Structure 1
């Protein structure tokens, strides 16, 4: 167990793991359900295909798979984990939480387990909490997992949400480090605009004011990128990669252009994964590392934003 009150110099991401559901849904299928053209989906949000979970692939089971793979990637064991944080907004019931079941499924008992619901910025919020817990000596190992079944929350016939959202899970193991590998978070919220992305009390499905959300993300959030880099003590031009929430390819491109580096590698996992809400940032991070376009020690900006409205960004070093 963690040594209480023992301050450490820093924390780092030691391993990553993902779970991508088995069912692939093409644009042709999504377009037919939403009564739109397949090319319209690709042009509007940049999605070519997405994955939907089967009945057997729950928020918890997907998180267990992703978390176990993150441990394996870090060459760690369940005994190295004393806190599990589950970033999700799609648990089927508010109680019990998902994290305790995930900890049991991975074999991390009696690790503390709690959920964080900051929607699409949930993973980035949870990573900031994990970093603080480790640096404060409250925990030695924190497993942060984003896991979502967004297909449960959208009407596939709604052209504003049905072709966009999808399912999946991804995890990061956070451990102590002699040098910081996770830098201070730049985060905040704009609750006055919370109604722009919400679950309807009447239908139980998500409602999204797409144009207003696009305007908010591409204007109000650009300074957050600068703030996160300043807190890390680096220039935006020094970033090797940018991993924003995979909401929309047009949003991703606008935010990447703000960074202004000709050598920047930008994650575009949205094209084959869709918008997986709290799982999107770690899924895209893992895919970018697997592609070989970034390497261990590279500075990467993670940036989650979405319902709430919430946002959180931090520079990390690639494991």
Structure 2
């Protein structure tokens, strides 16, 4: 079977920057308290008139232009989101309409903060099965719509934005290119996904209720679970791609909390050359948008080498997780 690979990335963030000092005027908090517990300095907040579809379409348009493809080349559009207001037509269908994509299958996927990596895997599977040749995979969230601005434990975390990837068929599958431990692996494409959920912790991160739910989480439960379980999942994703963590060029985890990222990376004992995404400092937790947003920024800045293997790994409501190694475009 053919494999697939990410050929281009795009991103979008609203113009409004919400600082820690701004939040100090809204709830009982301060810059030092927020930075010490989360590592976050700023986050972007969408305008009232700016929708999840608006942000998803902007990121997707950016990625499509970078790929040099025509809208008619896209056979699949999927948007990972848990904050879209519209139920039908889906956000993905609306994005396809705005971009002039004529006949792609379009659907939304809700797996919380793990949504983008889950959607990336489903697009990879569809391409491997011959159902599409080019796909748009988008993570987009308007977390400010579901934020409880009176709860200082959660309102300091959340931001808005979108990231997108063009995924295209590759001549060879990633599994054919494994080469762990040789110091210069020939890995190419999108590696096998590691995914699952722990329903016994389903309420640890949640958006429950009517049309106006509010984000809530059990912060200590999430921290303990992630720091205990994620390193093993990271190693397994590398193993399935035929690599070891030391073969990686970069690591992009869900940008939930800088302290979580630092703990996971420490346990992986990565070499100094491995670039670790820390976009949470500037963007906050953007849920399903965080992984593609952080990956797009690192690629734009030239901090990740083209062709280098990058581990993507996300976790969130459910308690769900998904991740894979990908070749940096």
Please say if residues 23 and 30 of structure 2, whose CA atoms lie closer than 8 Å, have aligned partners that are also in contact.
Answer: no
Displacement after TM superposition at 1:200 (Å): 4.3
Answering whether residue 75 of structure 2 is matched by residue 86 of structure 1, we say no
Please say if residues 187 and 312 of structure 1, whose CA atoms lie closer than 8 Å, have aligned partners that are also in contact.
Answer: yes
> Could you tell me which residue of structure 2 aligns to residue 249 of structure 1?
258
Answering whether residue 199 of structure 2 is matched by residue 191 of structure 1, we say yes
More moved, 92-101 vs 176-185: 92-101
Displacement after TM superposition at 1:55 (Å): 2.1
In structure 1, C-alpha distance between the alignment counterparts of 2:27 and 2:328, rounded to whole Å: 38
Which aligned pairs between 1:131-280 and structure 2 lie closer than 5 A?
131-179=124-172, 180=174, 181-201=189-209, 204-262=213-271, 263-280=273-290
> Could you tell me which residue of structure 2 aligns to residue 4 of structure 1?
none
Please say if residues 83 and 142 of structure 1, whose CA atoms lie closer than 8 Å, have aligned partners that are also in contact.
Answer: yes
> Could you tell me which residue of structure 1 aligns to residue 308 of structure 2?
298
**Residue of structure 2 aligned with 1:100, choices 73, 89, 93:** 93
In structure 2, C-alpha distance between the alignment counterparts of 1:285 and 1:226, rounded to whole Å: 19
Please say if residues 160 and 208 of structure 1, whose CA atoms lie closer than 8 Å, have aligned partners that are also in contact.
Answer: no
> Could you tell me which residue of structure 2 aligns to residue 283 of structure 1?
293
Displacement after TM superposition at 1:201 (Å): 2.8
- What TM-score results when the alignment is normalised by the length of structure 1? 0.95
> Per-residue displacement from partner, 1:90-110 (whole Å, max 9, x unpaired)?
011433321111110111122
Q: Could you list the runs of 5+ residues in structure 2 that have no partner in the other structure?
A: 175-188
> Number of matched residues?
312
In structure 2, C-alpha distance between the alignment counterparts of 1:232 and 1:258, rounded to whole Å: 20
**Residue of structure 1 aligned with 2:59, choices 63, 66, 70:** 66
Q: Secondary structure at the match of 1:184?
A: coil
Q: Secondary structure at the match of 1:204?
A: coil
Q: Could you list the runs of 5+ residues in structure 1 that have no partner in the other structure?
A: 1-6
Q: Secondary structure at the match of 1:252?
A: helix
In structure 2, C-alpha distance between the alignment counterparts of 1:159 and 1:216, rounded to whole Å: 22
In structure 1, C-alpha distance between the alignment counterparts of 2:110 and 2:221, rounded to whole Å: 22
Q: CA RMSD in A?
A: 1.2
> Could you tell me which residue of structure 2 aligns to residue 3 of structure 1?
none
Please say if residues 56 and 138 of structure 2, whose CA atoms lie closer than 8 Å, have aligned partners that are also in contact.
Answer: yes
In structure 2, C-alpha distance between the alignment counterparts of 1:92 and 1:132, rounded to whole Å: 28
In structure 2, C-alpha distance between the alignment counterparts of 1:131 and 1:255, rounded to whole Å: 26
In structure 2, C-alpha distance between the alignment counterparts of 1:303 and 1:237, rounded to whole Å: 16
In structure 2, C-alpha distance between the alignment counterparts of 1:84 and 1:200, rounded to whole Å: 26
- What TM-score results when the alignment is normalised by the length of structure 2? 0.92
